[in-house]
Amino acid sequence: MSTDPATSNKAAFSRIHDAVNSGDAEVIARTIDEVVEPDFLFHAPVPMGATGAQALKNVWAVLLRAFPDIHVTVEDVIAEGDKVVFRNTVTGTHQGEYRGLSPTGKSVTYNEIFIVRFANSRIAEIWGVVDVFAQLKQLGAIPT
């Protein structure tokens, strides 16, 4: 494996994407423990109810309950220095409670962009922009 930090950082975050697409909460939590700093900072419009690595685990627990078939497709990856940027398309079927909405059975497709900062080859901080408006509109929570 390359010793180039940008390359190893991309690979570390790709492990998270692979875990997420497994649909297995235990695999996701274990991978988070392996590649995310315990006290990492998470800046994103997502339901967390916690801080540090536990916040990321909580987000994925919520998403897996709401969208058991959730799938994240990485569209673009840009890495420089200690940061990696990912632009993703997320799809899923609303089969569980989400943001106060009962399951609708509707499919959603939305976009997100994350800037991930690494320290000591682990994820130390994430800034995220998630198209929550598109999610809620597709679920019928916001009039079209």
What pLDDT, in 10s, does the model give residues 59-109? Answer: 999 999 999 999 999 999 999 999 999 999 999 999 999 989 999 999 999
Tell me the CB-side half-sphere exposure of residue 26, using CA atoms within 13 A. Answer: 0
The dihedral through the CA atoms of 24, 27, 31, 32 has a sign that is positive
Digit-coded pLDDT (tens) for 37-72: 999 999 987 666 788 899 899 999 999 999 999 999
Q: Rounded to two decimals, what is the model's pTM?
A: 0.89
CATH class of this structure's domain 5-138: alpha beta
- How many C-alpha atoms does 141 have within 13 Å on its Cβ side? 17
Return the C-alpha torsion angle 54, 56, 59, 65, nearest 10. Answer: -80
Q: What is the largest CA-CA distance in the chain?
A: 50
Q: Determine the pLDDT at residue 1.
A: 46
The DSSP H or E segment spanning 135 is helix 132-138
